[in-house]
């Protein structure tokens, strides 16, 4: 079969890497892709109509959407209208990620545990609401804000600043509505599942590292590393997640007639009172995917195709019991200002150290050398019989990379060793 992957980051490289292992898959395209994703041919467009034309002309058997933006813009609706098979929720269901308020109302309707909240449509109401909540208080711009629209304010002044930032247009139209939310305390985990709207198959658990600095300090990022499984999701918690989050989610999709054939990702806080949903994403996590897919033994193309054809009940997934750790190498300065175009060497050595190298923000220079071309640049994943072994293998590979401009956290997955 021929597959088209939409996106260009480390998540999309991991998807291409995994899908390429299937004997059913003869060709993979990636749009816009990255020249270092060697499993795929790059297609230079992100225009939805052009992508649909491409899929029609090249008789693509399955289009897999990586990032949220095209899902929220309606790529699935467009492909379905043209009878092109595509993996992902339609734009209505994608609002679960595209609108925090929509997601909160969905959770309330279907009894999914989450933080208490108030939705505010103007600055005055939001400033009044933040005072009603104990500190710290969470302020969220309602729409997609590239991961930047959430503030956990520890003082009244910070809360006011966060509200003002939303209504000043910093996040564009995403800030016109603001969700003020109770701050949940606990440890976070990522629960990612495959669904066809009729049945749902959870993937293995994982944990991201959102903050830029070690010991979870500094600004929020897209994710500085991940590991799987996440020991915080022990069997007791897992049972509660299935019963209190996954099953009600599926019932909710059915009751609301969502056409949901893709991935649902619940960012969960494991609180004293059990798991509560912080947010829904309607696509694979990045970098969680780079830690999850290396553990998947089954054929991903079969599972995705079954989801699209609504026969997911025929599928069961087999997993490698080993631990996976993915360390993200970012450009120094990320998530603030950083350099691009720096030559990266030593990738072969890193691979020979037993790691998988996923390209996120890289490019090639005129001599064919790999160069940095973004904030999060590489994801380096290793598997180990134990979590400490996986950590050691991943960092041995990281240290083999010759790129003086790299920044990475040295404590990825360390917390998992204490549990
Ligand atoms: P979101 O985009 O909603 O996942 O928020 C990004 C990050 O903000 C989450 O991964 C959490 O670390 C934090 N966060 C969001 N909502 C809350 C909350 N209600 N309580 C505590 N932390 C939160
Ligand atoms: N790793 C966080 C996300 O994919 O949103």
Report pLDDT digits (tens) over 39-95.
Answer: 999 999 999 999 999 999 999 999 999 999 999 999 999 999 999 999 999 999 999
Exposure letters 50-71 (e unless 16+ CB within 10 A, then b): ebbebbeeeebbbbbbbbbbbb
**Whole-angstrom distance, CA of residue 56 vs CA of residue 58:** 6
**Whole-number average pLDDT of the chain:** 95
What is the pTM for the complete model shown?
Answer: 0.96
d(CA 313, CA 306): 8
Domain ranges of the chain: 2-88, 116-182, 186-314, 323-418
Please state which CATH number belongs to domain 186-314.
3.30.470.20
In sequence order, the 6+-apart residues with CB closer than 8 A to the CB of 324 are: 227, 228, 291, 292, 294, 295, 381, 382, 383, 390
Could you identify the atom of ligand 2 that is nearest to the CA of residue 281?
5
Q: Name the more confident of 230 and 145.
A: 230
DSSP for residue 230: -
Which tokens in the block code for residue 86? Answer: 């595509």
In this model, does residue 174 exceed pLDDT 70?
A: no
- Is there an atom of ligand 2 within 6 Å of 281 CB? yes
The minimum-distance atom of ligand 2 relative to the CA of 11 is 4
Q: Taking CB atoms and a 6 Å cutoff, what residues make up the pocket around ligand 1?
A: 115, 138, 140, 150, 152, 181-184, 188, 210, 267, 278-279
Whole-number Å distance, alpha carbon 145 to ligand 2 midpoint, is: 13
Query: Which of the ligands is closest to the CA of residue 207?
Result: 2
Cα(14) to centroid(ligand 2), Å: 14
Q: How far apart are CA 274 and CA 235, in angstroms?
A: 12
Kindly write down the DSSP assignment for every residue of 119-178, as one continuous string: EESSHHHHHHHHHHSPSSEEEEESS--TT-SEEEESSHHHHHHHHHHHHTTTTGGGGSSE
Please choose from 11, 68, 103, 190 the residue to mutate so as to test ligand 2's pocket, defined by most ligand atoms within 8 A of CB: 190
Q: Which atom of ligand 2 is nearest to the CA of 287?
A: 1
What is the residue with the minimal CA distance to atom 14 of ligand 1?
Answer: 278
Fold of 116-182: Dna Ligase; domain 1 (3.30.1490)
Residue 184 has pLDDT above 80, yes or no: yes
Q: Mapping DSSP to helix (H, G, I), strand (E, B) and coil, where does residue 16 land?
A: helix
CA–centroid distance, residue 147 to ligand 2 (Å): 8
pLDDT band at 177 (very low <50, low <70, confident <90, very high): confident
Instruction: Tell me if 171 sits within 8 A of 253, measured CB to CB.
Output: no
- C-alpha 228 to ligand 1 mean position (Å): 20
Is the CB of residue 68 below 6 angstroms from any atom belonging to ligand 2?
A: no
| Kind plus residue range of the DSSP H or E element containing 302 | helix 300-308
Mean pLDDT of 308-324: 98
Give the residue whose CA is nearest to atom 18 of ligand 1: 183
**Average confidence (pLDDT) over 313-322:** 98
pLDDT interval class at 160 (50, 70, 90): very high
Q: Which atom number of ligand 2 is nearest to the Cα of residue 147?
A: 5
Q: Whose CA is nearest to atom 19 of ligand 1?
A: 183
pLDDT at residue 146, rounded to an integer: 67
Atom of ligand 2 at shortest range from CA of 208: 1
| Ligand 1 pocket mutation, candidates 278, 335, 415, criterion most atoms within 8 A of CB | 278
Q: Which two tokens stand for residue 44?
A: 């230079």
Q: Are 2-88 and 323-418 the same fold in CATH?
A: no
Q: Which two tokens stand for residue 396?
A: 């041995």
Which SS3 state, helix, strand or coil, does residue 291 take? helix
Distance 6 CA to ligand 1 centre (A): 26
Which tokens hold the place of 83? 């009878």
Which CATH class for the 323-418 domain? Answer: alpha beta
What is the domain class of 2-88 according to CATH?
Answer: alpha beta
Q: Is 7 in the pocket of ligand 2 (CB under 6 A)?
A: no
pLDDT of residue 175: 59
């Amino acid at each position: 079969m021929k597959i088209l992957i939409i996106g260009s980051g480390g998540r999309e490289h991991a998807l291409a890497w995994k899908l390429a292992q299937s004997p059913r898959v003869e060709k993979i395209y990636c749009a816009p892709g990255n020249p270092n994703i060697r499993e795929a041919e790059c297609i230079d467009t992100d225009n939805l109509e052009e992508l649909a034309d491409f899929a029609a002309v090249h008789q693509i058997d399955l289009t897999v959407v990586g990032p949220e933006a095209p899902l929220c813009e309606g790529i699935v609706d467009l492909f379905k209208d043209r009878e092109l098979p595509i993996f992902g929720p339609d734009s209505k269901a994608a609002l679960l990620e595209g609108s925090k308020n929509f997601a909160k109302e969905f959770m309330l309707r279907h009894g999914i545990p989450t933080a208490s909240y108030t939705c505010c449509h103007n600055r005055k109401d939001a400033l009044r609401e933040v005072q009603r909540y104990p500190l710290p208080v969470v302020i969220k711009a309602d729409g997609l804000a590239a991961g930047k629209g959430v503030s956990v304010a520890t003082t009244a002044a910070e809360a006011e600043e966060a509200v003002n930032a939303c209504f000043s247009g910093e996040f564009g139209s995403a800030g016109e509505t603001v969700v003020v939310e109770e701050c949940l305390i606990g440890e976070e985990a990522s629960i990612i599942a495959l669904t066809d709207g009729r049945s749902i198959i959870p993937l293995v658990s994982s944990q991201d590292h959102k903050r830029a600095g070690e010991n979870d300090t500094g600004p929020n990022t897209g994710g500085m590393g991940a590991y799987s499984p996440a020991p915080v999701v022990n069997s007791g918690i897992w049972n509660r997640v299935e019963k209190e989050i996954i099953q009600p989610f599926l019932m909710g999709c059915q009751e609301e007639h969502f056409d949901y054939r893709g991935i649902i990702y619940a960012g969960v806080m494991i609180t004293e009172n059990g798991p509560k949903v912080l947010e829904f994403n309607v696509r694979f996590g990045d970098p969680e995917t780079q830690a999850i897919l290396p553990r998947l033994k089954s054929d991903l193309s079969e599972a995705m195709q079954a989801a699209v054809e609504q026969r997911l009940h025929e599928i069961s997934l087999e997993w490698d019991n080993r631990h996976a750790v993915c360390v993200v190498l970012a450009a120094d300065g990320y998530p603030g200002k950083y350099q691009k175009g720096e030559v990266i060497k030593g990738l072969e050595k890193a691979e020979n150290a037993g790691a998988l190298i996923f390209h996120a923000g890289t490019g090639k220079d005129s001599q064919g050398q790999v160069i940095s071309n973004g904030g999060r640049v590489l994801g380096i994943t290793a598997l180990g019989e134990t979590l400490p072994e996986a950590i050691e293998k991943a960092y041995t590979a990281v240290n083999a990379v010759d790129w003086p401009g790299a920044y990475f956290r040295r404590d990825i997955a360390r917390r998992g060793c204490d549990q």
